[in-house]
Amino acid sequence: MKFFRSLLAKYMLIIITALFLFQFIIFLTATLLFNTGMAKERNENFMPTVIEDKWHEQASNLENDQKKINDFFARWKEQYPDSSMFWINEKGTLQLQLDLEENVPSNWTATTTARFIKERYDSDPFTVIAFVGKEEKEGFVVFEIPRDKLNKEFYEEYGDLLLGIGVIILILFIAISFLFFRSIQKRLIYVQEAMEIRDTDHLPVQIDVKKQDEIGQLELTFNKMVDELKKSKRREQEEEQLRRKLIANLSHDLRTPLTKLQANLSILQNEDQTEVGRQIIQVMEDSIQSVDGLMDNLISYTLLTASKYKYSPEKVDMIRFLRTSLASWYPLFEQEQFEVDIQLDSVKIGEWYVDPLWMERILDNLFQNVLRHAKSGRYIGVRIDTTSTYEVIVMTDHGKGMKHDSDEKGAGIGLSIVDVMIRGLDLEWELASTENGTTIQIKKHI
């Protein structure tokens, strides 16, 4: 049953039907022509093949007798009034003639006979030559009749009609084949277009399966894939929701003791402490702030990946924005004895369409990354370059590079937030890090 539903079976049916229909219509047409007015009054005695067979048969039964041959000519003349006949005897002499319209030689040689046969071959009048008697030594008799007095052979008369019918059937076969393959093409295009449709979760939608052939099987397989994708999406959403809940609970559980620690450290700072004690308190306070910042990054990354982070883009003067951000970080870099190289005065750029809070978070994370991981270089440079195709913020440090292990090295969640936010702002960024320093470029295409 599966084979009979297939496209192969359907096309084989078209071919078999075309062959059967061709033979049936040809046979039916021929039968109708024979039995209707289209073949009326067809006298078989006036068919060329019938005349030729009868002339040869009756001539072979003749004897070399003028009276009998004359009677033979008379009988044929009675049946074929428009015919003419003559007899050449064994000596090559014109012995007898009947109603010849043109002169023929009185004496015949082999050359004369050959020339006559050549002239009469497939020409008008229709000519039949037969030997007299069975031994073929008593001369020959010739029968001639105008071709317009004969009935044409069936296929000679109606061959063009049958050929036309065959051509029509062939055209019908080609047309049906074209429609068949066109329907396949339309169905494939429909499947292609349906595969590009997405629902609210950006997943493909199922296709209506109308037939059980190969394309229908393809549609069924696609629908199964869509089901699996939706199940996978649901599992992913459930896991994402569980992860966000876990992070929120973890953040709450950690912030509570951190708050208590900060409060107690504040009390300790007001007490008399030795120099070592004050250093220990400062280290603990720095660690608490680091953990607090890490948790803040973790929550921000979770919100970003879940598309829950507030996004409000607007036009921003990026040179002024960079100056403001650097001004807030300058005291920290100065405290750590960084050389701050700012080159923003020599270029002019257009306004950037970004979310100011997102852009501020990106710069804060990058500056913090330099402050933590590039202390050994004591250098940070910020400049803006322009080309014919893009504007770029270039940030450089002289640290030991991203691959260098340090006590401050974390899980890299800060740079992950930078990556998500930059892509969310429809910008591009590149990071090149060696043992001699790191360069970060943030590009906006013009």
CA torsion 249-250-256-262 (nearest 10°) is: -150
pLDDT reading at 166 higher than 80:
no
> Does the global pTM surpass 0.95?
no
- Section 169-181 average pLDDT: 82
pLDDT reading at 133 higher than 70:
yes
Give the start-to-end residue ranges of the domains of the chain. Answer: 3-41+154-192, 44-149, 207-309, 314-445
- Residue 283 vs residues 262, 287, 337: alpha-carbon distances, Å: 12, 6, 19
Helix (H) or strand (E) holding 159: helix 154-195
Q: Which residues contact 28 (CB under 8 A, 6 or more apart)?
A: none
pLDDT reading at 341 higher than 90:
yes
- Averaged confidence pLDDT in the chain: 81
Go through 363-378 and write b for each residue having 16 or more CB atoms within 10 A of its CB, e for each that does not. Answer: bbbbbebbbbbbbebe
Most confident of 175-179, 419-423, 437-441: 437-441
- Count the helix, strand and coil residues of the chain and give each as a percent rounded to the nearest 5: 55, 15, 25
> Which pLDDT does position 40 carry in this prediction?
43
- Section 118-122 average pLDDT: 83
- Section 335-349 average pLDDT: 87
> Which pLDDT does position 378 carry in this prediction?
92
Give domain 314-445's CATH number out of 3.30.565.10, 2.70.70.10, 3.30.750.24, 3.10.20.30: 3.30.565.10
Q: What is the fold of 207-309?
A: Helix Hairpins (1.10.287)
| Rounded-to-integer distance, Cα 165 and Cα 400, Å | 89
Helix ranges (H only) for 271-354 are 275-305, 318-335
- Compute φ and ψ for 338, nearest 5 degrees: -80, 145
Q: How confident is the model at residue 2 (pLDDT cuts 50, 70, 90)?
A: low
> Which pLDDT does position 321 carry in this prediction?
93
| Rounded-to-integer distance, Cα 365 and Cα 413, Å | 10
Q: How confident is the model at residue 39 (pLDDT cuts 50, 70, 90)?
A: very low
Q: How confident is the model at residue 201 (pLDDT cuts 50, 70, 90)?
A: confident
CATH architecture of the domain covering 44-149 = 2-Layer Sandwich (3.30)
| Rounded-to-integer distance, Cα 65 and Cα 31, Å | 46
| Rounded-to-integer distance, Cα 367 and Cα 364, Å | 5
3-state secondary structure of 387: coil
**Nearest by Cα to 215 from 10, 442, 434:** 10
Q: How confident is the model at residue 315 (pLDDT cuts 50, 70, 90)?
A: very high
Q: How confident is the model at residue 177 (pLDDT cuts 50, 70, 90)?
A: confident
